[in-house]
Structure 1
Amino acid sequence: MDRAIDIIKSLSTQSYTTSKALAEQLNVSSRTIRNDVRLLNQELKKNGAYIESKARHGMLLHITDEETYHIYYQNLINSSPIDKDNRITQIIEYLLTMEDSITMDDLCDIFYVSRSTLKKDMKEIREIFEKYQITIDHRANQGLKIIGKEQDLRNCLTNLQKSRLEEISLKDENLEKIISIISAQVNKHHFEISDYSMRNFALHISVAITRIKDGKELQLDADMEQALGASPDIDLLLSIVNEIEKTFHVHFTKGEIGYLLLQISGKKTITTKNISGNTVISEETYKLVTQMLERVNAVFKIDFRYDLELITMLATHLMPLEIRAKHGIAVHNSMADDIRHNVILSYNMAIIACDTLEQKIGVKLPMDEIAFVALPFSLALKRKWKNQKEKVLIVCGSGKASSELLAYQVKENFGNYLDVVGATNRHSLELYDFSNVDYILTTVPIDIPVPIPIIRTSTFFETNSIDQVNQAITDTRSSRFIEYFHKNMVFWSSSDDKNEILKHMCENAVQNYNIPDDFFHYVMKREDIGRTSFGNLITIAHPIHPIGQESFVGLTILDHPIDWDGEPAQLIFLLSMKESGENKMKDFYKAMTKLVNNTHYIELLTKTKNYDEVINILKLVASSDLHTVL
């Protein structure tokens, strides 16, 4: 507030100054002065001073802590004018806490801006308010008045302060007291909550205290009443409220307690510590999780419907998630971008699974929530694929003993990811069923065509033999990734239109593969569910479910980034999995995870001019040593 310094300079610590005198001195209205002083007093009380207002006398400056006040005053003098974002935040906080309506001219005076600047700010403010179902009633000659439910006003106030949480905590002793009370009680009740969520909950309590003291109490509604009667967290909350009431001399009604119960229940962290043999999952929640896993199986052909650990993790996570979603309780996930970049397949599964929940509750989930759901899927994939070793057939020309020796050495050196499924000789290969075999490991030359990779080695493994097998497996996995990319499905484009780009790729796919003519329709259905952009200029589009008899990947390289789901995208991948599923699709996702995390390869791809250049870079990506998870 630019007039703050002028007001402080004009006030005395010895004698009262009237608002009328200040208004005349600063060339604003008396009402503007009163509003300025109210806002300024909130800051002064945190910084060793306050302004006393006395009827028929005026205002008097009191300094309670000389050192703290001096530091604050010097910072105020040296500070630059507030930027646009801070100004908008201050205007919103003012509008949400004012008692009466206010004119645009008065707002211009209070925040020291022109009318044209304020009009632009108000457009953004209305957009922010829409997210909280808050409206601005603007009537001629009456000014602006905020219309909205008290719970929505509080959510807006609290979320505005989140970005300044550390700054507020350093200045606000009361907030630190609240955090200390919460910390003591959550430890006592063994309640799992992150540090960020705890501080965020403290903000809700701080806002509640201020609103209660201003006579803005929450009324008990049906959701709050239900929470009070059924939540396992009620004892924890009552212990917190009891300490808050004693410390701040304020009374929390049932409505206030119900509101805070929804907040803290929505912030519970679900870990394996929370899950025990006594964990009870309601029939409704179990049915919802089953539907989510059925959707995932339909899209990715990976069946988790009998993974009890995943079912339990998802069910217990859905309880607080549903509370947050229904009541607009924001959650912060500091790992969201890392999750999108490093567990691409799991995040994709979470998007599909969460769509089932979104349809049930009628609320779109933010990226932070979806990223949390991706983590249980990532763990489930690790468990599932840990036991799915690639199959090796031994071909040896020296008899059973040498075959068994070779099989033993495979188990000894590669047992974590290779499994010997049998042994045979060269002349029996023509009749062998290779449907359950990934590699042939042979000590003799094989001159007949076989449908799987051949790795040549010696009966007695030496260091170079082990290296050769490792390299052969790496090369095979790399080739699996590359073989999805056909020359007729790699394009370059200057289009700015997302739909146009996808339509062009889909039309070419229909011409080159045995897939339905309405392939584009299925791809767009998936786009409607949730974002397919993964950051770092990469998008992976795909149909809503597997289609056709052959898996393939298309790629369009744009000559400049365009907006895709609110993020810049320049490398547009189109993935289509065959109807029967694709066991080797994990090789694709592993390679894509490497690509998303390597800006050097991304830059090289954006500069390519032909198919061969693209394939050479993709080979480098697939064979790189970057550790990946799913």
Structure 2
Amino acid sequence: MLRIQLQELLNMMELDEYHPASLMAKQLAVSEKTVRNRIKELKSVLNQHGGDIVSKSRYGYKLVVTDEKKFKHFLQEENESNIPETIQERNIFLLKYLLELDGWVKMDDLCDMLYISKSSLSSSIRNVEKIMNQYNITIERKPNYGISVRGDEFDLRRLLCHYFIKNKSFKEFRARDNEAFMWIAQNVQELLIKYEIHLTEIAFDNFIDYVYIGFSRTRRGYHLNLQFVSLPTIGVKEISFQRELVEKIEETYHLRYSKDEKNYILLYLAGKQRVGNAIENDYNFVIREEIDRLALGMMERIKQEYHMDFCSNFELRMTLNQHLVALDVRLKYGLPLTNPMLDEIKKQYCLAYDMALQASAVLRDYYKTEICEDEVGYIALIFALALNKDTNREKMNILVVCNSGKNLLKLLKYQYEQSFSDYVDQIYVEDKIGLEKFDFSLVDYVFTTVPITWKIPCPIFEISVFLGENDVQAITNILERGITDVLRKYYTPERFLTDIKGRDRDSILKEICDIIMKQEQVDDDFYELVLEREKYAQMKYGNKIAIPHPNRICSPYTFAYVAVLPEEVLWNGEYVQVIFLTSVSDVKGGDDSNRQKFYKSTAQFALNRESVQQLIDHPDYETLMKLIES
């Protein structure tokens, strides 16, 4: 196996390309003389394995292969040495190694172990230390001894649980004693059934991992001290489950669990119950007053941000409460959680995920900690259920105009109700005279048997008095297309901007708001209201997009302005290049029939990094609509 310096040197060299010694010396942070000496060593090794290094004055050195079969075999043996190759792999290796380290380790020994230079190792150690610091764990450095990990055992276990399970490297951690892991899994499953304790499949898998980590640490002589941890209320069944599980472990593996070790199991069990269990009818739980206040606060936040009022939805409120009981434990004690469904949730329930991000701000403020994506994903499932039960929001409202008397108007309304119930929510009927006082914000389309010669703010389609088969199909096609076309009511060509000159948040918003003031019906203090909303905690999409809006309703209809900037600007701590400035009307204003479609499409676009980048690369209105309608 090559020594550290020779391995790095070999990694730098490519076949049939010369590399100056000065460049390699700079990359390795050594002198040119040292590089030349190491090249001689590497050349000697390669000569035995089908390779060579040749030099050329003023060009440098290049790698050549003299025996392809021997050289491939040599490289294969080097690659199979289980040494991490990428920076990410090296960081995980170091994190795992240091957490399991008893005592101290010298930097030189780590360099030889990983076949990297001291500068590369120092960089990786700094990355690992940043991860550890999030869990109140530090790396102590001591001359002649090296480095060692320092931290509370509870925090060390939190990091072990979260990082290795999250990065899917937990199998390596338990590989040393897979038999014990399988024994724990089987006994936990049997006892959960015995005591009728329900865990979802995901929560069960996570709980097994946590119990095993506690078991392996206890077996190695590391013990917890939970004297400052106030345990949540635990039921009789859970306590009986814990007692019998501990007794079985102690008897089988000749261990002695302290009171704190037993409470450790109860703590994780309390944090895992009902995870992702939002759609099951299990109401056997205690809701504290502060938990209910949090649930109501989350629903109120949705009302403020989306103007969708779920506050009277008792089922949603109870489901949130049920979920928050266990979430409260996880957030208070920093218990880790994984959500293998996260990517699918973002894709399938983009609006619900967007809502969950906004609602999570209430939890962040209360618990003074960031809410991880995994937790947001579970909350999104709860909102997805509430949204899916409200099917009428995807339907449209239409107006039917006819001058042939009230009886025919009633007949037409009945015909449309029977023929288009899958597409239409409300059907209004009027004669031509009644159009003068009709509020067109109530409808999406007008179908008329008589010509309408003046301009009205809705698409108009002329129809026959009596619906034939061809008429039904034609109107069905219009309504099907309308589910998509309705977005063009909110996003119009004149609302798509590419010539914004501002280079900071406030000046960009001022420029866009000035255009809005000229083109739309908004309150005079529209810009000030948008700026005031920006003072609140903002949702960060991380996709170069920001979605500002006023902090109250100030327009009689809903609209969205889209600005694509020529370059990125710093916006509330993140770099942004696409601005969606939205304004929604009051629900009472009547244009709410497709509000959910508007929110859903906007959220789907904002959460899609590729779509945002595609708009940046091709900043035109039709590209926007193609992406947002897809």
TM-score over 0.5 for the pair: yes
| Range that drifts further, 565-574 or 176-185 | 565-574
Native 8 Å contact 1:515 1:547 kept in 2: no
Give the Cα–Cα distance (whole angstroms) in 1 for the partners of residues 469 and 2 of structure 2: 74
Native 8 Å contact 1:391 1:421 kept in 2: yes
Native 8 Å contact 1:506 1:519 kept in 2: no
Indicate whether 1:574 and 2:584 are aligned.
no
1:188/1:444 Cα in 2 relative to 1: closer, same or farther (>3 Å)?
farther
CA deviation after TM superposition for structure 1 residue 621, in Å: 5.0
Indicate whether 1:155 and 2:158 are aligned.
yes
Native 8 Å contact 2:105 2:145 kept in 1: yes
Indicate whether 1:262 and 2:267 are aligned.
yes
Match 1:428 to one of 434, 438, 441: 434
Match of 1:227 in 2: 232
Q: Aligned with 1:518: secondary structure?
A: helix
Match of 2:560 in 1: 553
Give the Cα–Cα distance (whole angstroms) in 1 for the partners of residues 102 and 172 of structure 2: 27
Native 8 Å contact 2:234 2:266 kept in 1: no
1:500/1:339 Cα in 2 relative to 1: closer, same or farther (>3 Å)?
farther
Q: Aligned with 2:580: secondary structure?
A: strand
Native 8 Å contact 1:482 1:618 kept in 2: no
| Range that drifts further, 336-345 or 294-303 | 336-345
Q: Aligned with 2:272: secondary structure?
A: coil
Q: Aligned with 2:562: secondary structure?
A: strand
Give the Cα–Cα distance (whole angstroms) in 1 for the partners of residues 103 and 614 of structure 2: 59
Indicate whether 1:506 and 2:509 are aligned.
yes
Give the Cα–Cα distance (whole angstroms) in 2 for the partners of residues 303 and 592 of structure 1: 19
| Range that drifts further, 204-213 or 509-518 | 509-518
Identity of aligned residues (%): 27
Cα deviation 1:163-188 (Å, max 9, x = unaligned): 22355667722222222222333344
Native 8 Å contact 1:510 1:519 kept in 2: no
Match 2:100 to one of 89, 97, 102: 97
Native 8 Å contact 1:548 1:578 kept in 2: yes
1:132/1:288 Cα in 2 relative to 1: closer, same or farther (>3 Å)?
same
| Range that drifts further, 150-159 or 161-170 | 161-170
CA deviation after TM superposition for structure 1 residue 217, in Å: 1.3
Native 8 Å contact 1:245 1:252 kept in 2: yes
Mapping 1:212-251, distance limit 5 Å: 212-224=218-230, 226-227=231-232, 229=234, 233-251=238-256
Native 8 Å contact 1:350 1:373 kept in 2: yes
1:615/1:469 Cα in 2 relative to 1: closer, same or farther (>3 Å)?
farther
Native 8 Å contact 1:538 1:573 kept in 2: no
Give the Cα–Cα distance (whole angstroms) in 2 for the partners of residues 85 and 598 of structure 1: 25
Give the Cα–Cα distance (whole angstroms) in 2 for the partners of residues 440 and 396 of structure 1: 11
Native 8 Å contact 2:162 2:336 kept in 1: yes
| Number of aligned residues | 542
Q: Which amino acid is the alignment partner of residue 328 of structure 1?
A: G
Match of 2:27 in 1: none
Match 1:164 to one of 169, 193, 201: 169
Indicate whether 1:381 and 2:387 are aligned.
yes
1:601/1:357 Cα in 2 relative to 1: closer, same or farther (>3 Å)?
closer
Native 8 Å contact 1:345 1:589 kept in 2: yes
Match of 1:532 in 2: 541
Match of 1:589 in 2: 599
Give the Cα–Cα distance (whole angstroms) in 1 for the partners of residues 226 and 602 of structure 2: 50
CA deviation after TM superposition for structure 1 residue 130, in Å: 0.7
1:620/1:139 Cα in 2 relative to 1: closer, same or farther (>3 Å)?
closer
Match of 1:81 in 2: 83
CA deviation after TM superposition for structure 1 residue 121, in Å: 1.7
CA deviation after TM superposition for structure 1 residue 111, in Å: 4.6
Q: Which amino acid is the alignment partner of residue 118 of structure 2?
A: R
Cα deviation 1:367-409 (Å, max 9, x = unaligned): 2211221221122223335378543333333444433332222
Native 8 Å contact 2:195 2:237 kept in 1: no
Native 8 Å contact 2:287 2:325 kept in 1: no
Native 8 Å contact 1:342 1:593 kept in 2: no
Indicate whether 1:140 and 2:104 are aligned.
no
Native 8 Å contact 1:134 1:147 kept in 2: yes
Native 8 Å contact 2:446 2:461 kept in 1: yes
1:257/1:88 Cα in 2 relative to 1: closer, same or farther (>3 Å)?
same
Match of 2:322 in 1: 316
Mapping 1:297-312, distance limit 5 Å: 297-312=303-318
Native 8 Å contact 2:399 2:446 kept in 1: yes
Match of 1:51 in 2: none
| Range that drifts further, 197-206 or 482-491 | 482-491
Match of 2:128 in 1: 125
Q: Aligned with 1:221: secondary structure?
A: coil
CA deviation after TM superposition for structure 1 residue 309, in Å: 0.9
Q: Aligned with 2:400: secondary structure?
A: strand
Native 8 Å contact 1:539 1:571 kept in 2: yes
| Range that drifts further, 97-106 or 296-305 | 97-106
Q: Give TM-score scaled by structure 1 length.
A: 0.75
Native 8 Å contact 1:539 1:572 kept in 2: yes
Give the Cα–Cα distance (whole angstroms) in 1 for the partners of residues 426 and 581 of structure 2: 35
Q: Which amino acid is the alignment partner of residue 303 of structure 1?
A: D
Q: Which amino acid is the alignment partner of residue 99 of structure 2?
A: L
Match of 2:29 in 1: none
Q: Give TM-score scaled by structure 2 length.
A: 0.75
Give the Cα–Cα distance (whole angstroms) in 2 for the partners of residues 488 and 440 of structure 1: 24
Mapping 1:400-549, distance limit 5 Å: 400-434=406-440, 436-474=442-480, 476-485=482-491, 489-492=495-498, 500=503, 502-512=505-515, 513=517, 514-519=524-529, 521-522=531-532, 524-526=534-536, 528-533=537-542, 537=543, 539-543=545-549, 545-549=551-555
Match 2:340 to one of 334, 337, 348: 334
Native 8 Å contact 2:570 2:576 kept in 1: yes
1:397/1:198 Cα in 2 relative to 1: closer, same or farther (>3 Å)?
same
CA deviation after TM superposition for structure 1 residue 150, in Å: 0.5
Native 8 Å contact 2:197 2:237 kept in 1: no
CA deviation after TM superposition for structure 1 residue 219, in Å: 2.3
| Range that drifts further, 416-425 or 507-516 | 416-425
Give the Cα–Cα distance (whole angstroms) in 2 for the partners of residues 428 and 77 of structure 1: 81
Cα deviation 1:510-533 (Å, max 9, x = unaligned): 21224444356345335x433234
Give the Cα–Cα distance (whole angstroms) in 1 for the partners of residues 459 and 140 of structure 2: 72
1:463/1:325 Cα in 2 relative to 1: closer, same or farther (>3 Å)?
farther
1:388/1:340 Cα in 2 relative to 1: closer, same or farther (>3 Å)?
closer
Q: Which amino acid is the alignment partner of residue 577 of structure 1?
A: V
Q: Aligned with 1:574: secondary structure?
A: strand
Native 8 Å contact 2:394 2:597 kept in 1: no
Native 8 Å contact 1:396 1:444 kept in 2: yes
CA deviation after TM superposition for structure 1 residue 324, in Å: 1.4
CA deviation after TM superposition for structure 1 residue 541, in Å: 1.3
Native 8 Å contact 1:439 1:452 kept in 2: yes
Give the Cα–Cα distance (whole angstroms) in 2 for the partners of residues 122 and 128 of structure 1: 10
In structure 2, list runs of 5 or more residues that go unmatched: 4-75, 518-523
Give the Cα–Cα distance (whole angstroms) in 2 for the partners of residues 77 and 595 of structure 1: 42
Report the aligned-residue RMSD. 3.8
1:235/1:539 Cα in 2 relative to 1: closer, same or farther (>3 Å)?
farther
Q: Which amino acid is the alignment partner of residue 576 of structure 1?
A: S
